């Protein structure tokens, strides 16, 4: 239970920033198009070439073993999928009559993005935020397991790393590694199930 604080902190912060950054980049690229779209999507393509866990490990190794560095490394990579999906929705929304009407009425770009586009893409942002919780907790546990976690913070990943370092499996000390492993599995599965359930709400055709 004590280790759940670090896992939930990593998961929730990663979800908030993943949804926020991805939505902002996706709306900007989709609405403006042209060179702005090309520039932002090239950044997304570059980040897609970096696998999540190995890249997080490298970044944490460079920045230092800290829970906040782990969160930062996860956020740097996690928003890419959200941005691409939101961009595709923004490309469709900007051609809708209500957006054209707002442009003819003289509304500013920021007004159109914040008042007309953003409310229509928020359900998809929340969906990818739910998935980000699960991926972030897995990444934190993986980084901590190999010894790059914050030594001053108790988390499920550091518990597993300690059990491996002291050969708990060899001595049959199952209570050292089984509970954190089960907790990681349950929280990750719940994150994916929440995302799947929310996806069915936003897209009734999946029911």
Residue 77 confidence (pLDDT) above 80: yes
**Structure tokens that stand for 181 in this block:** 């492993």
pTM of the model: 0.82
104-121: average pLDDT: 87
74-79: average pLDDT: 88
Please check whether residue 55 is in contact with residue 73, taking contact to mean a CB–CB distance below 8 angstroms. Answer: yes
pLDDT given at position 69: 87
Give the whole-angstrom CA distance, residue 137 versus residue 103. 42
As a residue count, the chain comes to: 207
Confidence of residue 4 (pLDDT cuts 50, 70, 90): confident
Residue 61 confidence (pLDDT) above 90: no
The domain total for the chain is 1
116-125: average pLDDT: 86
pLDDT given at position 28: 92
Lowest mean pLDDT among 42-46, 59-63, 104-108, 193-197: 193-197
Please check whether residue 6 is in contact with residue 121, taking contact to mean a CB–CB distance below 8 angstroms. Answer: no
Give the 3-state secondary structure of 47-111: HHCCCHHHHHHHHHHHHCCCHHHHHHHHHHHHHHHHHHHHHHHHHHHCCCHHHHHHHHCCCCHHH
Give the whole-angstrom CA distance, residue 159 versus residue 199. 33
Mean pLDDT for all residues in the chain: 86
Q: Please return the burial class of 197, using the count of CB atoms within 10 Å of its CB with bins 0-12, 13-18 and 19+.
A: exposed
Range of the domain at 97: 4-206
**Phi, psi for residue 52 in degrees, rounded to 5:** -60, -65
Residue 182 confidence (pLDDT) above 80: yes
pLDDT given at position 29: 92
CATH number of residue 125's parent domain: 1.10.3720.10
pLDDT given at position 49: 85
């Amino acid at each position: 239970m004590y280790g759940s604080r670090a896992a939930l902190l990593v998961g929730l912060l990663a979800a908030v920033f993943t949804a926020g950054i991805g939505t902002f980049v996706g709306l900007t690229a989709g609405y403006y198009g042209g060179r702005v779209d090309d520039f932002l999507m090239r950044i997304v393509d570059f980040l897609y070439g970096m696998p999540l866990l190995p890249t997080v490990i490298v970044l944490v190794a460079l920045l230092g073993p800290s829970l906040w560095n782990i969160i930062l490394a996860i956020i740097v990579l996690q928003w890419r999928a959200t941005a691409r999906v939101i961009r595709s929705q923004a490309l469709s929304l900007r051609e809708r009559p209500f957006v054209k009407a707002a442009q003819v009425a003289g509304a500013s770009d920021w007004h159109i993005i914040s008042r007309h586009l953003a409310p229509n893409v928020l359900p998809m942002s929340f969906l990818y935020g739910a998935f980000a919780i699960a991926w972030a907790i897995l990444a934190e546990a993986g980084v901590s397991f190999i010894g790059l976690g914050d030594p001053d913070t108790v988390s499920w990943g550091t518990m597993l790393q300690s059990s491996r370092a002291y050969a708990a499996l060899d001595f049959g000390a199952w209570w050292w590694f089984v509970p954190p492993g089960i907790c990681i599995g349950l929280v990750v599965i719940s994150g994916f199930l929440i995302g799947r359930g929310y996806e069915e709400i936003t897209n009734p055709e999946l029911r």
